[in-house]
Amino acid sequence: MRTTRPRTDRIRIRTTSLVATVIAALAAVLLPVATVQAASAAGTVRHGLSRPDYSYADAVREAVWVETGRDDDGDGRTDRVAADIVRPREPAAAGRKVPVIMDASPYYSCCGRGNEGQLKTYDDQGRMVQAPLYYDNYFVPRGYAVVLVDLAGTNRSDGCVDVGGPSDIGSAKAVIDWLNGRAKGWTSRTGSRPASARWSTGDVGMIGKSWDGTIANGVAATGVRGLRTIVPISAISSWYDYYFQQGAALYGSGPDWLSDYVESPAARARCGAVQQRIVDGAPRSGDWTRFWSERDYTKDAGKVRASVFAVHGMQDLNVRTKHFGQWWSALAAHGVERKVWLSQTGHVDPFDFRRDAWVSALHRWFDHYLLGVRNGVEREPGADVERAPDRWTTDRSWPPAGTEPTRLNLRPGAVPGQGGLSTAPAVPGSTAAFTDTPQEWEEDWAAGADTPSDSRAVFTTGTLKRDLRLSGSGTVTVTASSSTTSAHLSAVLVDLGPDTVRDFLGAKEGIVDLATRSCWGESTEGDSACFRDTATDAADVTHTVVSRGWADLGHAASAWQGRPLVPGRAYTATVTLAATDHVVPAGHRLALIVAGTDGGMVEPPDTTPTVTLDLARSRALLPLVGGARGLAAAAPHAPAAQRVADVPPAPRRTATTVPTGR
Which H/E stretch holds residue 26?
helix 18-30
Dihedrals phi, psi of 230, to nearest 5 degrees: -130, 150
The DSSP-derived string for 327-390 is HHHHHHHTT--EEEEEES-SS--GGGTSHHHHHHHHHHHHHHHHH-----GGGS-SEEEEEETT
User: In the annotation, is 637 catalytic?
Assistant: no
DSSP state of 133: S
Candidate list 53, 316, 495, 533, residue with the active-site label: 316
- Closest listed residue to residue 14, CA positions, set 141, 131, 134: 141
Q: Which of 210, 237, 490, 518 is catalytic?
A: 210
Tell me if residue 136 falls in helix, strand or coil: helix
If phi > 0 it is left, if psi is from -120 to 50 it is alpha, else beta; for residue 288 that is beta
Question: Is 266 exposed, middle or buried (CB count within 10 Å of its CB: 0-12, 13-18, 19+)?
Answer: middle
Q: Cα(280)–Cα(287) distance, rounded to whole angstroms?
A: 12
- Exposure string of 524-553, with b = 16+ CB inside 10 Å and e = fewer, is beebbbbbebbbbbbeebebbbbbbbbbbb
- C-alpha span between 207 and 216 (Å, rounded): 7
- Residue from 530, 113, 135, 520 nearest 356 by CA: 520
Q: What are the Cα distances from residue 7, in Å, to 11, 408, 519?
A: 11, 47, 10
DSSP element (H, E) containing 293: helix 290-294
Our answer to whether residue 488 is catalytic in this structure is no
What 3-state class would DSSP assign to 603?
coil
Report the C-alpha gap between 82 and 526 in whole angstroms: 20
- Exposed/middle/buried for 191, CB within 10 Å: 0-12, 13-18, 19+? exposed
CA dist 439 → 13, 34, 267, 443, 451 (Å): 55, 62, 39, 12, 17
- 157 assigned to active site: no
* From 79, 105, 312, 347, active-site residue: 347
User: What is the 8-class DSSP label of residue 113?
Assistant: B
Question: Is the Cβ–Cβ distance between 442 and 653 less than 8 Å?
Answer: no
Distance CA 339, CA 652 (A): 35
Active-site positions?
210, 316, 347
